[in-house]
């Protein structure tokens, strides 16, 4: 799949699991739970040294049902490493020109973290598929979406940090395109993850329908 196809599929899902594990078995359990609940996008954090291998394993295990990308990709070297392991998208807490260039070269969606409108616009100029509003989403909450979307309504936005079942609908109503979840989609048993994923899926679908 090319960049446009992957970008559209991620936006259509509207949610992703932020996974930090070194265990192949646990990564599979999280993936199965998310898929059972209707969430098919997983970010594997490169804070763990074996993240590229986890990505490659999940891509082989769930080749047609799961979208698997790399998170915490700080530079172009790391971006190329995870892309060669079949990562389908790249996410970072920072904006890196070298990372943006590598992702554009391989036609991989890039989602850099930005903390100001100026930085977010620079990210779009560098070809970012989505702007990641992080870490400021932890402090602003859902109104963070309006901070970016009011001056630039068409800015594609990913928020993560501090999103719960109680405030998720507010994020969606304000125009957030993707919401990232840590504990809700990665803690507990496979069945518990599936239940959380179903709850997230229902809120997103219902709120989007109300907004349309």
Q: Is the pLDDT of residue 135 over 80?
A: no
* Residues assigned a catalytic role: 43, 132
Phi-psi region of 44 (alpha: psi -120 to 50; beta: other; left: phi over 0): beta
Distance, in Å, from the CA atom of 156 to the CA atom of 141, rounded to the nearest integer, reads 17
Of all residues in the chain, what percent carry a pLDDT higher than 70? 97
Reported as a pLDDT band with limits 50, 70 and 90, residue 2 is: confident
| Domain 3-211 superfamily per CATH | Aldolase class I (3.20.20.70)
Question: What residues does each domain of the chain span?
Answer: 3-211
- CA nearest neighbour of 69 among 18, 12, 4, 5: 18
Residues 202 and 188: their CA atoms lie apart, in Å, by 20
């Amino acid at each position: 799949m090319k960049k446009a196809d992957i970008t559209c599929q991620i936006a259509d899902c509207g949610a992703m699991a932020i996974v930090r594990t070194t265990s192949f078995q646990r990564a599979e359990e999280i993936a199965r739970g998310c898929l059972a609940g209707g969430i098919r996008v997983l970010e594997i954090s490169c804070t763990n040294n074996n993240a590229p291998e986890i990505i490659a394993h999940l891509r082989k295990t769930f080749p047609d049902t799961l979208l698997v990308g790399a998170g915490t990709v700080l530079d172009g070297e790391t971006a190329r490493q995870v892309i060669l392991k079949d990562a389908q998208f790249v996410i970072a807490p920072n904006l890196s020109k070298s990372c943006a260039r590598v992702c554009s070269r391989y036609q991989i969606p890039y989602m850099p973290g930005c903390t100001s409108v100026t930085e977010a616009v620079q990210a779009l100029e560098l070809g970012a598929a989505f702007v990641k509003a992080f870490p400021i989403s932890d402090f602003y909450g859902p109104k963070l979406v309006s901070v970016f979307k009011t001056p630039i309504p068409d800015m594609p936005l990913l928020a993560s940090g501090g999103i719960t079942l109680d405030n998720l609908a507010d994020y969606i109503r304000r125009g957030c395109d993707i919401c990232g979840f840590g504990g809700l989609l990665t803690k507990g048993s496979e069945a518990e993850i599936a239940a959380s994923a179903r709850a997230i899926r229902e809120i997103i679908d219902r709120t989007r329908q109300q907004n349309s």
